[in-house]
């Protein structure tokens, strides 16, 4: 058979079917099957031919649908009735809640009733609303659910028990509002089995829109109704991070139910300030960001249009700014708690997600920022007259995206030219630096630290202080003697000093109005703009010290990896404070947020540039206990500075590295005493001065 | 006129890019008296004497500049084909090597070629007055085989009319070393695929992509797609087969500086195989916009009504359109005109003495290649292993830094080493053809302190073991090496090949 003849036959087969000429169709299909036996033809076409033959032979296992049916086959409107013994009030309340949550949809009535169901004012309470929601305590044995794709929910359901005088629904239909069709359409169903738990997939029409669940006898007779108001709070959903951040100690499903309920109640009760508008600016080089997705835009518009019931108080409106790829949290869109902290924190709390799995990585809680560093604020809220609104609840979820090592190598997170562009090299307030090497280390460690210091550009190094010569460090110093001589020839005054007293160092540098830099031997400032960049961080008057991202490399054979070690210290366990000890831990994840400048409780003394002015350090009283222990003195001094109103800043724009791997995951216990305050009363101030990052464990 | 197109590797020579961009032009250019030859950079130098024009395509290392310099020596016009935008995003650290590459290369070029207007604009910003030519990617000639195309369209139309499946294809590079592109774009626009199911059809998405893209992250992105997805590793033959089966080619484009300037060639290929093209923004596929969709619902409506933009009734229009906008004949003629004008206006630019300076990471540039290109091959003290280079560094048994230089180079360039190190105890290794200069006793035009520091830096560099050590010294060492080379060979132009791809 000729090629052209074959194709013409497909058309004739199509015509025969359309005109219902069964015998012709069968004859053509048989011919075609022969012709198509050899060669590479689309499988769908072969299957179609087979199905025509099967049907004509009376085998209707694979029913063939006609073209006309396909074009109208889309999702069907869901038809239902209420069973005689059903709890009509409960169904009415669920529909009332639904009508409030989906205002753009057609208002639902209980079948047989004329007016749309409404939620009575007395029903807006935790107990009544809680009963309408899908959770493990409700009537639906819904044990767990998670997203498997962007639009598919997998539900693990429990078993169905026949009870003596009551038979619970065996079949639950999940429904969503389809705005294009203006219909309630089914996303699939959950059929309960008597013996075993089972998995069911629901294909959502909209990945974030509320779900109405109708429990029935499987024949369209509904017995119960329930709601899943915010599916995106489920695991692998875009908002799951806020659940993990706000309910850290609860089991997953329980945390999701209670967070959903709490958000829903605030929305219904009114009076809670909430986000009604937003400005979201994903980085220019990220492909669109979540905010560009049509489903997200639709959902946000719908959420912001929701109103509390007419008799409830109105909700003060907030505007949310996000300088990243991110979205407002469900919490922010439904109602935020008022804050009454005294300190002005312009940044609001947010959660950072791994963009690949949407797994929550860390929580950033608000901290004080220098007044003159507005660019470092990623997320903030404003109320009326653009006044900053303070809040510690999670207001946004952000993607950790623009900092992958492939785009931002840890060795040079920001390119040197970009880094120095913003720094004016000829400013009058540029100050000379005194560098105190706090240890000598091995010969190699000392040598490479000194090389890195001698490479610093656009900064005048006034004095270099080295620990006194002794038997242990003599050899290392000898190896670097030529380099030290050269530095001396370049105008650096090299001095050996025996005391490790921070106060004296501060006073000495302060008297010359120099900056003081502490460097541990083995720390290398491999970028020549490092000191200059740290000096730029010190410009705002409230900043007392500045540090940067510290990294180290592992080399095993040819395998070469770089790891982030620390970006300053943040509070560790914050439990009810009995003792005066505060635990500080290293935070390493801040660089995942972006190229950030952040406030911390202390910068590591391994590399820190200090403004030695007395206004920051007058509370710091050196104690003999810490003599010779510079690290302890430094942590005490840092805490004293915060209690006096100062800030410590670190940046992830630039990195310095350890020549030999430092001890991993160090923790420090610091006593807060001698400042005339108890830790309990100092803690809020300490926390506010640190943009804490908490690692989240989903 | 002989046009030599130089690509980076044998793999590139056999890749889709070369096929679409250059091989399609070979015959049409011949009709205008231009003989196009394709060679790898490794082979290129041998062909320079027989070439009138050299076009460098994606050779992203110092060899591009050395080849351009060699072209000047041979009197050939030299240009670069620039088709990926790594140049305008100054804030992405990882793009800096590519940006430096263009900065180094551009002054040595006679012309540049781009595949889209948008890219032309980007390159113009970076290269100033360099003459630029727009050479659109052309169709592959399949569009002229109307009968074949009619047949495949007939099969697709029937299958759509009789089945409920909608076969959608996404094909192309799934990743990029720097930018979020490829599978990211697909994932970002996944819900458009779900919209294609809104009339009850079932979407079968086929993804044809490169193996490297199927990393953990790449696979995660695919697994989040809301439609049935099957995955295959791309090859040319498979692409043709799958395009012939597909109803729709889904080609989403991200609104990034990188993606906005890309060529519409995938769209053209899809049209040539009788696919409907669904994209997300107009700009990239503007050239073929009468035959593309940016709205899934319009596409669905047209498909259900049998009125899709690509159908048997519109084939003649499509052919006419592609012949007008993306035809090899038109592009060949425009190319000929451009090159002729360029040759008439050319001014001789003298070739310089050029050295390729290897950085921390030794790139795959062999010293032999440098010699054939007439360039001097210099290993920095940080590069490590030596490979027949002209100049390199080592420590003697007393721990002093030495500069080693090939006798051949001394003779060729008439270098006066007695001036460089008068009181030397130069070791001569006539058998190996090498000479050694002790750096600390070299006569240099700099202060004693600077000379000492330079010597110290080189000595320390030769003892470096870790990447951190090398990075700490890299500025000092680069300054030292450049200063020493400048002393030895006056007027030397140094091309720094410090690519830093392994830093992450």
> Is it the case that residue A567 has pLDDT exceeding 90?
no
And the tokens for B300?
């669905």
Q: Which carries the bigger pLDDT value, residue A59 or residue B454?
A: B454
Q: Is the pLDDT of residue A371 over 80?
A: no
Q: The dihedral of CA A11, A16, A20, A26: what is its sign?
A: negative
> What pLDDT does residue A235 have?
92
C-alpha span between A119 and A102 (Å, rounded) = 13
Q: Confirm if B47 and B56 have CB atoms less than 8 A apart.
A: no
Task: Please tell me what DSSP assigns to residue B171.
Answer: E
Question: What pLDDT is stored for residue A157 in this prediction?
Answer: 86
Using an 8 Å Cβ cutoff, are A244 and A696 in contact?
Answer: yes
- pLDDT, position A575: 58
Q: How many CA atoms lie within 13 A of A355 on its CB side?
A: 22
Using pLDDT thresholds of 50, 70 and 90, give the confidence band for residue A447.
very high
Closest Cβ–Cβ partner in B161, B165, B468 for A67: B161
Q: What is the mean pLDDT of chain B?
A: 90
Higher-pLDDT residue of A10 and A442 is A442
How far is Cα A419 from Cα B315, in angstroms, rounded to an integer?
Answer: 55
pLDDT of A550 over the 80 cut: yes
| DSSP structural state of residue A543 | E
Test A285 with B226 for CB contact under 8 angstroms.
no
Task: Give A54's pLDDT tier (boundaries 50, 70, 90).
Answer: low
Q: What is the band of A544 on the pLDDT scale with cuts at 50, 70, 90?
A: very high
Residue A174 CB-half CA count within 13 A? 26
> Nearest-5° angle of CA A400, CA A402, CA A404?
80
d(C-alpha B240, C-alpha A229), whole Å: 46
Q: Are A386 and A277 in contact (CB under 8 A)?
A: no
Q: Give the CA dihedral B310, B313, B316, B322, nearest 10 degrees.
A: -10
Q: Which of A419, A691, A475 is nearest to A570 (CA)?
A: A691
Alpha helices in B326-465 (DSSP H): 328-345, 367-372, 407-412, 417-420, 448-462
Do residues A225 and A212 lie in contact, with contact meaning Cβ atoms separated by under 8 Å? yes
pLDDT value of position A67 = 36
Look at A151 and B159 and tell me if their CB atoms are within 8 Å: no
Q: What is the DSSP letter of A551?
A: E
Residue A139 pLDDT class (50, 70, 90 cuts): low
Cβ proximity of A233 and A242 under 8 Å: yes
Average pLDDT over residues A76-86: 76
Q: Which of A61-75, A100-114, B418-432 ranks highest by mean pLDDT?
A: A100-114
Per-position b or e across A527-553, b if 16+ CB within 10 A of its CB? bbbbbbbbbbbbbeebbbbbbbbbbbb
**Which chain B residues are closer than 8 Å to A409 by Cβ?**
93-94, 500, 503-504
pLDDT at A38 over 70: no
CA distance A400 to chain B (A): 13
Question: For the segment B352-372, what is each residue's pLDDT rounded down to a tens digit?
Answer: 899 999 888 766 788 899 999
The residues with which B406 forms a beta bridge, in sequence order, are B434
Q: pTM for the whole thing?
A: 0.85
Helix (H) / strand (E) containing B230 = strand B228-233
**pLDDT at residue B363, rounded to an integer:** 65
Query: Are A45 and B158 an interchain contact pair (Cβ–Cβ within 8 Å)?
Result: yes
DSSP B256: S
Q: What are the φ and ψ backbone dihedral angles of B503, each rounded to 5 degrees?
A: -65, -30
pLDDT of A5? 39
Which region, left, alpha or beta, applies to residue A161 given φ > 0 means left and ψ of -120 to 50 means alpha?
beta
> Considering only A273-287, A376-390, A503-517, B365-379, which range has the smallest mean pLDDT?
A376-390
Q: Average pLDDT of B186-209?
A: 93
In percent, the amount of chain B with pLDDT more than 70 equals 96
Per residue in B256-304, pLDDT (tens digit) is 888 889 999 999 999 999 999 999 987 899 999 999 999 999 999 999 9
The pLDDT confidence band at residue A239, using thresholds 50, 70 and 90, is very high
Q: For position A626, what pLDDT does the model report?
A: 57
Position A65 pLDDT exceeds 50 = no
Q: Identify which of A48, A293, A447 has the shortest CB distance to residue B191.
A: A293
Alpha helices in A72-163 (DSSP H): 88-101, 126-132
Q: How far apart are CA A697 and CA A244, in angstroms?
A: 7
User: Per-residue confidence at A64, pLDDT binned at 50, 70, 90?
Assistant: very low
CA A223 – CA A83 distance, rounded (Å):
6
Tokens of B232: 């295959």
Q: What pLDDT is attached to residue A614?
A: 93
Question: How far apart, in whole angstroms, are the C-alpha atoms of residue B58 and residue A330?
Answer: 47
Classify residue A235 by its DSSP letter: B
- pLDDT of residue A428 exceeding 60, the answer is no
Distance CA A550, CA A532 (A): 16
Query: Using one digit for the tens of pLDDT, what is the confidence trace for A353-368?
Result: 988 888 888 888 777 7
Looking at residue B91, its pLDDT comes to: 77
Which residue in B226, B468, B474, B502 has the most chain A C-beta atoms within 10 A of its own C-beta, making it the best mutation to test that interface?
B468
In B, which residues are within 8 Å of A44 by CB distance? 159, 163, 165, 167
Within 8 A of A286 by CB-CB distance, chain B residues are: 180, 256
Range in A56-65, A664-673, B330-339 the model is least confident about: A56-65
| Whether residue A450 has pLDDT greater than 90 | yes
- CA neighbor of B482 nearest in space, from B454, B502, B463: B454
Out of A246-250, A272-276, A539-543, pick the least confident: A246-250
**What are the phi and psi torsion angles at B465 (to 5°)?**
-120, -45
- Give the residue among A82, A173, A94 at the shortest CA–CA distance from A133: A94
- Which of A92, A89, A96, A91 lies closest to A264, judged by CA? A96
Q: Could you read off the pLDDT of A298-339 as tens digits, one per residue?
A: 999 999 988 877 777 777 889 999 988 999 999 999 999 876
Contact status, residue B372 vs residue B394, Cβ threshold 8 Å: no
C-alpha–C-alpha distance, residues B237 and B243, integer Å = 10
What pLDDT score was predicted for residue B97?
85
More confident: A128 or B123: B123
Give the residue with greater pLDDT, B313 vs A559.
B313
The three-state secondary structure class of A506 is helix
Distance from CA of A21 to the nearest CA of B (A): 15
Smallest CA-to-CA distance from A196 within A157, A144, A162, A138 is with A157
Cβ–Cβ gap A287/B254 under 8 Å: yes
Asked whether the predicted pLDDT for residue A580 surpasses 90, the reply is no
Whether residue A400 has pLDDT greater than 50: yes
Q: Are A11 and B150 in contact (CB under 8 A)?
A: no
Rg, Å, chain B Cα set: 27
Percentage with pLDDT > 90 across chain A:
34
Say yes or no to pLDDT of A3 above 50. no
Question: Which tops the pLDDT comparison, B420 or B26?
Answer: B26
Q: Given a cut of 60, is residue A75 above it in pLDDT? A: no
Quick check: A254 pLDDT over 60? yes
How far apart (Å, rounded) are the C-alpha atoms in residues B106 and B87? 12
Determine the average pLDDT of the residues in A488-516.
Answer: 91
Q: Beta partners for A339?
A: none
What is residue B320's predicted lDDT score, i.e. its pLDDT?
A: 95
Q: State the distance between the two ends of chain A, measured CA to CA, in whole angstroms.
A: 63
pLDDT, greater one: A254 or B65: B65
Q: What gap in Å lies between CA A173 and CA A153, rounded to an integer?
A: 13
Assess contact for B360 and B385: CB atoms under 8 A. Answer: no
Closest CA to A401 of A325, A327, A350, A328: A325
Identify whether the C-beta of residue B63 lies closer than 8 Å to the C-beta of residue B100: no
pLDDT at A240 over 60: yes
Quick one: average pLDDT of B180-201? 91
Distance CA B484, CA B442 (A): 9
**Cα pseudo-dihedral A336, A342, A345, A346, rounded to 10:** 70
Which pLDDT does position B67 carry in this prediction? 96
User: What is residue A534's predicted lDDT score, i.e. its pLDDT?
Assistant: 94
Nearest to A590 by CA among A651, A676, A508: A651
The overall average pLDDT reported for chain A is: 81
Contact B221 A356 (CB under 8 A): yes
Q: Tell me the angle at which helices A443-454 and A481-489 cross, rounded to the nearest 10 degrees.
A: 20
Q: Per mean pLDDT, which range of A514-518, B52-56, B362-366 is the poorest?
A: B362-366
Q: Is the pLDDT of residue A28 over 70?
A: yes
DSSP state of A194: S
pLDDT tens digits, residue range A142-157?
A: 788 999 999 999 999 8
Q: B92–A407: do the CB atoms touch at under 8 Å?
A: yes
User: Higher pLDDT residue, A309 or A518?
Assistant: A518
Instruction: Note whether B158 contacts A11, CB cutoff 8 Å.
Output: yes
Chain B residue closest in CA terms to A449: B472
Size of chain B, expressed as the number of residues it contains: 504
Q: Between the CA atoms of A631, A634, A638 and A643, what dihedral angle is there, to the nearest 10 degrees?
A: 110
pLDDT (mean) for B241-258: 94
Q: What is the mean pLDDT of residues B196-224?
A: 93
Q: Do A292 and B185 touch (CB under 8 A)?
A: no
Tell me what pLDDT residue A15 has. 66
SS3 A578: coil
All residues of chain A having their beta carbon less than 8 Å from the beta carbon of residue B499 are none
pLDDT digits (tens, 9 = 90+) for A175-229: 999 887 788 889 999 888 877 888 999 999 999 999 999 988 777 788 889 999 9
| Contact between residue A147 and residue A240 where contact means Cβ atoms under 8 Å apart | no
**d(CA A217, nearest CA chain B) in Å:** 26
Q: Do residue A73 and residue B199 have CB atoms under 8 angstroms apart?
A: yes
> How many other CB atoms sit within 10 Å of the CB of residue A18?
14
| Contact indicator for B209, B174 with CB cutoff of 8 Å | yes
Inter-CA distances, A142 with A13, A157, A193, A227, A254, Å: 49, 5, 12, 12, 11
Distance of alpha carbon A290 from alpha carbon A297, whole angstroms: 9
- Do A263 and A369 touch, CB atoms closer than 8 A? no
């Amino acid at each position: 058979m000729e090629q052209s003849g074959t194709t013409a036959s497909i058309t004739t087969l199509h015509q025969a079917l359309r005109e219902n000429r069964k015998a012709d169709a069968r004859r053509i299909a048989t011919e075609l099957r022969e012709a198509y036996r050899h060669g590479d033809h689309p499988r769908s076409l072969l299957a179609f031919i087979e199905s025509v033959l099967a049907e004509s032979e009376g085998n209707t296992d694979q029913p063939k649908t006609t073209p006309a049916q396909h074009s109208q086959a889309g999702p069907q409107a869901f038809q239902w009735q209420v069973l005689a013994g059903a709890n009509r009030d409960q169904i009415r309340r669920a529909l009332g809640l639904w009508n409030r949550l989906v205002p753009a949809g057609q208002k639902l009535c209980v079948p047989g009733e004329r007016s749309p169901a409404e939620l009575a004012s007395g029903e807006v309470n935790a107990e009544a609303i809680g009963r309408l929601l899908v959770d493990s305590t409700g009537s639906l044995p819904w044990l767990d659910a998670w997203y498997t794709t962007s639009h598919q929910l997998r539900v693990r359901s429990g078993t169905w028990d026949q009870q003596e005088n009551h038979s619970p629904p065996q079949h639950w239909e999940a429904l969503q509002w389809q705005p294009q069709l203006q219909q309630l359409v089914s996303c699939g169903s959950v059929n309960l089995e008597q013996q075993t738990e089972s998995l069911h997939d629901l294909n959502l029409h909209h990945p974030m829109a509320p779900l109405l669940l109708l429990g029935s006898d499987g024949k369209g007779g509904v017995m119960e109704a329930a709601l899943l108001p915010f599916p995106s709070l489920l695991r692998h959903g875009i908002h799951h991070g806020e659940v993990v951040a706000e309910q850290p100690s609860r089991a997953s499903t329980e945390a999701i139910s209670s967070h959903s309920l709490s958000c829903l109640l605030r929305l219904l009760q009114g009076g809670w300030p909430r986000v009604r508008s937003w400005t979201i600016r994903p980085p220019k080089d990220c492909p669109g960001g979540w905010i560009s997705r049509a489903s997200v835009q639709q959902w946000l518009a719908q959420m912001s249009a929701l109103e509390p019931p007419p008799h409830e108080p109105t909700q003060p409106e907030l505007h949310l700014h996000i300088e990243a790829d991110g979205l407002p949290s469900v919490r922010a869109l439904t109602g935020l708690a008022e804050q009454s902290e005294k300190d002005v924190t312009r940044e609001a709390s947010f959660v950072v997600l791994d963009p690949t799995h949407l797994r929550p990585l860390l929580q950033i809680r608000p901290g004080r920022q220098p007044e003159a560093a507005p660019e470092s604020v990623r997320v903030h809220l404003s109320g009326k007259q653009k006044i900053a609104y303070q809040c510690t609840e999670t207001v946004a979820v952000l993607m950790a995206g623009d900092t992958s090592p492939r785009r931002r190598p840890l060795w040079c997170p920001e390119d040197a030219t970009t880094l120095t562009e913003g720094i004016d090299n000829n400013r009058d307030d540029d100050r000379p630096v005194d560098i105190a090497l706090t240890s000598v280390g091995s010969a190699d460690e000392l040598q490479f630290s000194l090389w890195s210091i001698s490479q610093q550009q656009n900064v005048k190094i006034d004095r270099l202080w080295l620990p006194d010569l002794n038997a242990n460090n003599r050899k290392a110093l000898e190896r670097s003697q030529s380099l030290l001589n050269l530095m001396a020839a370049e105008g650096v005054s090299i001095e050996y000093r025996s005391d490790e007293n921070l106060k004296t160092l501060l006073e000495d540098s302060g008297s010359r109005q120099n900056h003081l830099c502490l460097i541990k031997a083995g720390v290398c400032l491999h970028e020549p703009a490092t000191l200059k960049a740290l000096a730029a961080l010190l410009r705002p008057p409230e900043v007392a010290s500045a540090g940067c991202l510290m990294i180290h490399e592992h080399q095993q054979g040819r395998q070469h990896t770089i790891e982030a070690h620390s970006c300053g210290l943040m509070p560790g366990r914050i439990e009810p404070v009995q003792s005066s000890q505060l635990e500080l831990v290293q935070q390493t994840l801040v660089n995942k947020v972006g190229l950030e400048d952040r406030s911390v409780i202390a910068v590591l003394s391994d590399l820190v540039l200090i403004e030695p002015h007395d206004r920051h350090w007058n509370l710091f009283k050196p104690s003999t206990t810490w003599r010779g222990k510079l690290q302890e003195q430094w942590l005490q001094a840092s805490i004293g500075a915060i209690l006096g109103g100062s800030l410590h800043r670190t940046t992830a724009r630039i990195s310095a590295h350890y020549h030999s791997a430092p001890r991993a995951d160090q923790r420090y216990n610091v006593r807060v005493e001698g400042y005339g305050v108890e830790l309990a009363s100092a803690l809020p101030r300490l926390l506010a001065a640190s943009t804490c990052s908490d690692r989240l464990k989903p | 006129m002989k046009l030599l197109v130089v690509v980076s590797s044998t793999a590139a020579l056999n890749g889709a890019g070369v096929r679409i961009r250059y091989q399609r032009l070979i015959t049409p250019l011949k009709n205008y008296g231009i003989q196009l030859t394709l060679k790898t950079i490794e082979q290129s130098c041998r062909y320079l004497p027989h070439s009138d024009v050299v076009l460098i395509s994606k050779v992203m290392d110092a060899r591009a500049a050395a080849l351009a310099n060699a072209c000047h020596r041979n009197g050939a016009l030299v240009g670069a084909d620039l088709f990926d935008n790594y140049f305008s995003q100054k804030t992405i650290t990882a793009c800096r090597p590519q940006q430096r590459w263009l900065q180094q290369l551009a002054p040595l070029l006679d012309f540049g070629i781009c595949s889209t207007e948008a890219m032309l604009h980007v390159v113009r910003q970076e290269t100033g007055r360099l003459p630029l030519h727009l050479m659109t990617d052309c169709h592959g000639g399949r569009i002229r085989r109307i009968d074949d195309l009619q047949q495949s369209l007939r099969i697709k139309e029937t299958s759509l009319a009789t089945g409920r499946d909608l076969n959608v294809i996404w094909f192309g590079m799934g990743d990029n070393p720097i930018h979020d592109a490829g599978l990211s774009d697909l994932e970002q626009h996944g819900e458009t695929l779900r919209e294609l199911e809104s009339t009850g059809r079932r979407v079968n998405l086929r993804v044809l992509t490169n193996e490297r893209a199927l990393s953990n992250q790449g696979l995660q992105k695919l697994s989040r797609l809301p439609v049935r997805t099957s995955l295959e590793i791309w090859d040319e033959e498979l692409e043709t087969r799958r395009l012939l089966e597909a109803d729709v080619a889904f080609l989403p484009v991200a609104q990034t500086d990188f993606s906005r300037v890309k060529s519409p060639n995938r769209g053209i290929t899809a049209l040539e195989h009788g696919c409907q093209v669904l994209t997300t923004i107009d700009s990239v596929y503007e050239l073929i916009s009468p035959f593309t969709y940016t709205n899934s619902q319009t596409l669905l409506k047209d498909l259900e009504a049998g009125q899709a933009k690509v159908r048997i009734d519109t084939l003649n229009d499509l052919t006419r359109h592609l012949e007008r906008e993306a035809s090899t004949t038109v592009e060949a003629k425009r190319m000929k005109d451009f090159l002729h004008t360029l040759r008439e206006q050319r001014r001789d630019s003298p070739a310089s003495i050029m050295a390729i300076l290897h950085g921390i990471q030794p790139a795959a540039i062999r010293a032999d290649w440098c010699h054939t290109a007439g360039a001097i091959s210099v290993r920095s003290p940080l590069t490590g292993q030596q490979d027949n280079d002209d100049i390199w560094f080592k420590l003697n048994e007393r721990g002093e830094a030495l500069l080693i230089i090939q006798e051949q180079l001394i003779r060729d360039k008439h270098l006066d080493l007695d001036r460089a190190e008068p009181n030397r105890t130069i070791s001569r290794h006539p058998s190996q053809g090498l000479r050694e200069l002790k750096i600390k006793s070299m006569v240099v035009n700099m202060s004693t302190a600077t000379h000492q520091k330079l010597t110290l830096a080189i000595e320390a560099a030769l003892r470096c073991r870790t990447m951190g050590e090398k990075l700490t010294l890299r500025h000092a060492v680069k300054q030292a090496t450049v200063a020493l080379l400048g002393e030895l060979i006056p007027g030397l132009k140094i091309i720094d090949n410090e690519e830093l791809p392994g830093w992450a």
